[in-house]
Structure 1
Amino acid sequence: MSAPETDPPERPYTRLTRPYALTGGRTEPPDASLAIEALVEMSWRGYDARDDIRFEKAEILDLTQRTISVAEVAAHLDVPLGVARVLVGDLAEEGLVIIHPPPDAETGGAQDPKLLEKVLHGLRTL
C-alpha cells in the first residue's frame, strides 16, 4: 500500500496578476540605490493614507507598521525582490514609508554581517 499523497499547504489566495504587471513593467525603483537590506517603516503620512491605498501597496503599509527589510517585504508578498523594490520605492517617493539605508550605505564600506544575518534570519522564519 502506498503512502497517501499530501496536498501542498493552502495559501490564503493566489495572486492572479503577473509580478511585473504590479510595477507597470518597471524593474528599477525611483531610487536605484534602494538596497534589499534597507529597512522600511510606515510614515505618519502612510498611517493617514492607509485606508485609501489598495492591493500590494496596502499590504506593504500593513507590513511596515513595524520596521522590516525590503527583502522581507518581497518574501511576505511572494514577489521577486525587484518588484518589492519598485513598490517600496514608489511608496517612499509618495512619502508613505520611510527608508532607512543600511548603516554602511552612507560610507560605502563593506556590508555589516550582523545586519545581513538579521535579514537572513527574518527570511528563514517566514
Structure 2
Amino acid sequence: MDLPVEATISTVEPSPSARWPGSDVRARIVDLGGGSTSVAEVAARLDLPLGVARVLIGDLVAQGYLRMNATLSESATIEERRELIGRTLRGLRAL
C-alpha cells in the first residue's frame, strides 16, 4: 500500500476488536487516528522510523482499524495546500 507521508489517517468506527495490549505501538497508532494525524506525525509522535510507521499504518488500514484519507486534489484551494504543507513540515521536523 502506498502511503504518502502527508496522508492523514482516521480510526474506523466501529473498529474491529484489538488483540494487543494498550501499550503496543499498534494501539497507540489507532489512538492517534482519532484526530487528523498524518503518517509523518504518527512517526514523529511515536519516535518511529518513517518506514516502520508506514508499514504499521498500512497493516492497520488493511485490517480495518484505520482509514487513509485522501490527500489534496488538483482542485484544492491555496489555504488547503498551505495547511497540508504546514502539517507535513511539522511532522518531518519532529522526526
TM-score, reference length from structure 1: 0.59
Distance 1:45 1:53, change over 3 A: farther
Task: Give 1:121's aligned residue.
Answer: 90
Q: Share of identical aligned residues, percent?
A: 39
Deviations 1:82-111 (A, max 9, x none): 00000000000001100013113xx6xxxx
Give the RMSD, CA atoms, in angstroms.
2.3
Q: Which runs of 5+ in 2 are unaligned?
A: 75-79
Selected match of 2:57 from 82, 85, 88: 88
Selected match of 2:17 from 19, 33, 49: 49
Could you tell me how far apart the structure 2 residues matched to 1:118 and 1:99 are? 16
The alpha-carbon deviation at position 121 of structure 1 amounts to 3.2
Distance 1:74 1:122, change over 3 A: closer
The alpha-carbon deviation at position 67 of structure 1 amounts to 1.7
TM-score, reference length from structure 2: 0.77
Point out the structure with max Rg over C-alpha: 1
Moved beyond 6 Å, runs of 4+: none
The alignment covers a number of residue pairs equal to 87
Q: Which has the higher contact order (CA 8 A, sep 6+)?
A: 2
